[in-house]
Amino acid sequence: MTNVVSMGDRVVGDAFSISPDRVLQEAAGKLLSCVIVGMDEDGALYVASSEGRANAAFLMQRGIADLIQSLD
CA 56 to chain CA centroid, Å, is: 13
Domain housing 49? 32-69
Does 48 map to a domain?
yes
Does 25 map to a domain?
no
Return phi, psi of residue 36, to 5°.
-115, 125
pLDDT tens string 10-61: 555 666 788 899 999 999 999 999 999 999 999 999 999 999 999 999 999 9
Does 61 map to a domain?
yes
Does 65 map to a domain?
yes
Domain count, the chain: 1
pLDDT of 67? 84
Please, which pLDDT band fits residue 1 given cuts at 50, 70 and 90? very low
Does 27 map to a domain?
no
d(CA 68, CA 51): 23
